[in-house]
Structure 1
Amino acid sequence: MILFWIIAGVLTLAAAVVLAAPLFDTRKFKSEDAFALEVYRDQLAELTRDEQRGLLTAEQARAAQIEIERRILALDEGKRFQPARPPSHALTLAMAVILPLAGFGIYLFLGSPHLPSQSAMERLAEERQRTSPEIQALEAKVEQSPSDGQSWIELGGAYADVERAKDAADAFAKAMALGRKEPDLLRQYAHAAIVAAGGRVGPDAQRALQRALAADPTDPTARFFLALAKAQNQDVEGALTDWLALEGQLPPNAPLRGLVTDNIDKAARQLGKDPATLPGRAAGAAPAGPSAEDMAAAARMSPEERQAFIESMVERLAAKMKENPDDLEGWIKLANAYGVLEKREEARAAWAEAAKRAPSRIDVQIDYAGSLIQGRSDLAQILPAEFPEAVKRIRTLDPENPLGMFYAGVVARAEGRSEEAKALWEKVLALMPEGAPERQQLQRQIDNLGKPAN
């Protein structure tokens, strides 16, 4: 080891000497006047060439020549060269010898040269060793059974417990891709996605919350974060309205109530209003949506009673949309609610209304297109008349959107353009994670392109 440090020190010293050598160079360098003289001579030569090519007349060339010659005469011809000032030998010695040796000595005093180096793979292995045994066991479990949605849910919960929000959101999303759509899973995914995004309620989190709310219109967590999404998208007035309705329905000791109240106060002040005199807090004001009694009763219902309660809530929302047809968020909620109830025709109609009112929102356009073909098994031959136009809007908004490319492939296949469909679907396939069941399904569709339908 000592020999190594001796060799390293010699090499360092040699490199420093090589780098410092130019400091000893006292050769003479050209002055600025000499450089200017060369430029003027080049200009005279160029002037002659321009005159020969006919770019300048004889008069123009002569005038320019006189001006350049005047500038040449103005130069100090006797001062063509000047010696460079020799550097300080003390400075050169310090740079070449003392500084490297001083740095080496400081490292020996403060550093840890006796420690072995650690490769990137070793550091990753060490990081994994610091992961809890529970998480390691769950990771091994999903590796063995990647199509087991429950295992992904358990792994996501474990990640969330140790504040690995991004990993938790990815695990929950995997479970959802495998067909798990329970409201609690939707809430867990949304929460993890929001934490991973630094508190921002993104489009994916919003869609999950809307589906959770469609399954349970009384869900306070979904209602709170959807209102927060409005506030983050500059609709503070809409967020305030939703939070006021939620505050009026939460029990006094509800864990979420303090957070709701704080956000109401903040939104009111942002809008220049007095939080204490807001209409939604006035005595006798009728709260929007389900009442506190409705929420309490829903918690005690049997599954059949709860289903009937949800259907009644959806009917009330549908009636409200007839009175206020320009409420985009209302149409989205209604479409999601119909989807949960598996009322596909009603869901398509609601998505059509939402898509008409939000032509630039790609999430709405994608959900509308998806509703048009949901449950259909004859897409290789027949497409709904509205579907190609819906796909065209998606592709205009974002040509590289994976679902947009997939839907465009569906249109191309139905219209007999198999090669175009294959190219689009192969691009989508490349974006899918390895081992995802959707990859196998899409690969089968690619393999079946051009084959006669069974």
Structure 2
Amino acid sequence: MILVWLVFAVMTLVTAVLLALPLFYTRKVKNEAGFALAVYRDQMVELGRDAEAGLIAPDQARLAQIEIERRVLALTDNPQWQPGRAPSHGLLIVAAVVLPLLGFGFYLLIGAPDLPAQPFIAEHAAPAATSPELQALEADVTAKPTDAKAWVALAAGYDAAGRAQDAATAYGKAVALGAQDAATLSAYGQAQLIANRGEMNDAAAATFHRALAVDPTNPTARFFLALGKAQAGEVEGALTDWMALEKDTPQDAPWRATLEAHIAKAAERLGKPAPAGTADAASGAAATAPGPSAADIEAAQAMSPEQQQTFINDMVGRLAEKLKSNPDDLDGWVRLARAYQVLQRSDDARNAWAKAAALAPARLDVQLDYADAIIAGRSDLDRYLPPEFVEAVGRVRTLDPKNPLGLYYGGLVARVAGDKAEARRLWNDVLDQLPPDAPQRAELQKELDSLLP
């Protein structure tokens, strides 16, 4: 490495010397203006002698004097110093052609031109969240790069880890390799939507339409295309589509509560009564998971504070062990996350909420709690936000673009991204929803004032 820098330093020095040589031709420089001025001075003297001797008329002498003076003044408009010799063409060729070619050849000899470019922002970006499971999926794709199923599995893994952009890329690979089923296409569209901060764009809409072309009953594509209409201001059309989807949705579908909540909110925005069965949907979607049983509470009340703490820790430990054998128990993960929060075990709570959020991507309350757990206790929210928080906010904004907490979190994301105008817009939307006497108004107003130039 030292040899490389020495060679580059020598080449730079040679180039500088070649370019500076013409500046040192001082003995070759002459003053043309001084010579011309001496000639004009002699002409003025001779003109005066001729006028005194009567060899030239006074008016002609005056005109000649004016002409000579004009030429003297004209000398100041031209460069007074001119090089006596132009720089050598050979030196210019060496500096402009030979040295760069030598440098390029030297780089090919000892450099690494096959390495991909690494911009500064990419080098210093926060590393993406990974896990042994994701590493195994990535290794599987590396071993089988043309296997569409391997790409689908990797995309699902990225999606569960909150890496929406990576998930969208992996789903795109799978679709290109022939995974054209409606489930894969709708998952691809959802990843594109979340990667776009929850806002419908042309790419995601086109993917959802492709999913419906394969299966016109696909609920994911139908739900999000209706959501796109709502985001575009077509609330009436969105409500119609969601109500049609509700008729085709089984009563025990895990995402039915979310669908009913959107129907109720759309009806409210249009000033219509909520359809039957959806009046309590908004609150029903956020129903809390069951806590300890009555027997547990009664037993705990008879204990000392130390015994109660031990009892709680044992209960939490048993729940955590139970979830190892039943990792798809959504209610169990929610209970465990809240228990960890009570015990002030922030890292454990965040991990438990991440599991719950992966199991319930359409549960608004779970996504909000997960987002809150990610940034709990952080004091640098004006400078940095974890990537998983940004992804979670994208899901929240997709599920309910008008949710006040989602709007506030969206403002945090926009501020860190440097988009102060978007942050102001989102936070003003929050203020519009807060009651006049809400204590949060003053704090939010401070946040808005900090965005002023």
What band does the TM-score fall into relative to the shorter chain? Answer: 0.3 to 0.5
Indicate the structure whose relative CO is greater, using CA pairs within 8 Å and at least 6 residues apart: 2
- Provide the TM-score with structure 2 as the length reference: 0.37
Larger Rg: 2
- Provide the TM-score with structure 1 as the length reference: 0.36
